Amino acid sequence: MQVTYDFSGRVALITGAASGVGRATALAFARANAKVAVADIADEEGRETVRLIRAAGGTAEFFAVDVRDEQKVKAMVDAVVETFGRLDFAHNNAGIEVGMTPVADADMDGLRRMLDINLCGVAFGIKAEVPHMRKNGGAIVNTASALGLIGGYRGGLYAATKHAVVGLTKSAAVDYADKGIRINCVCPGPIDTPFIAEFPPAVIERMLYGTPIGRVADPAEIAQAVLWLCSDGSSYVCGHALAVDGGIATGAVSTKMEDLWEAMAQADAPAG
């Protein structure tokens, strides 16, 4: 079931909107009658998101941006406001993951790339968006990760950047809550993307073992969480890191031992 919203007359900006969660969020805002600014470094794919929105009767424009560049982010946000006249919602979603390697073996160039995009890109977004939201208020949602709430095997560098996004979100929320701007973040678990679909079945099975709900998320499920955090339904939610992760951050998966208990019970059962 999808909850419906009406954001008529509002403008939503989504970075990393060329695919995955970003595209799903852009489409969801459009279905809720918002005008949508689709921002991404991937020109062709970003324009495809715009085409999909327009084909469904929505309003959208594409804005090319490299979120690693503070001045380009500011220029992009200013262009969004010039085009649509205002900015009400922003989903700072652009992010990357570079390998899953123990910290001591990791390529630190990968860390720098992740910091530039996952953390600096979000910080640049907030810095550029807040001034435009001071007049009418607004809501900002950043994309962190379930690995922004817990540690991850061989994922220390990626987890560090996403923990940083959570910390940035909480601090920025305190800075601007009294200005009518609510800032929160979503922390997704594994999501059904072409990247995950290419994993061998054994890898997906192991991934789902650590996911209590037992499946990967549809990108639209993450989008629904973003829209809720932008809606009046979450009007008292501020500085929150919302886990949308199928229970990963709840932990305790190591206690899932039914198969082992059954095997031991059968081994101890009298013969015959």
- How many Å apart are CA 110 and CA 155, to the nearest integer? 12
CATH fold for the domain made of 11-268: Rossmann fold (3.40.50)
Catalytic pick from 153, 158, 209, 236? 158
* pLDDT for position 254: 55
Which amino acid is it at 107? D
pLDDT block averages, 10 residues each, the chain of length 272 = 89 98 98 98 98 98 98 98 98 92 90 97 98 96 96 90 98 98 97 82 83 93 98 98 95 59 69 58
Give the pLDDT score at 154: 87
| 210: Cα within 13 Å, side-chain hemisphere | 16
Q: Is 176 a catalytic residue?
A: no
The backbone region for 215, taken as left when phi is positive above 0, alpha when psi lies in -120 to 50, beta otherwise, is beta
Q: What does the pLDDT read at residue 261?
A: 63
Q: At what angle do helices 219-230 and 20-31 cross, to 10 degrees?
A: 50
So what's the pLDDT on residue 202?
Answer: 85
For residue 201 the two structure tokens come to 């079945």
Sequence-distant (6+) residues with CB within 8 A of 232 are none
Q: How far apart are CA 153 and CA 58, in angstroms?
A: 42
Candidates 202, 35, 41, 1; CA nearest to 121 is 41
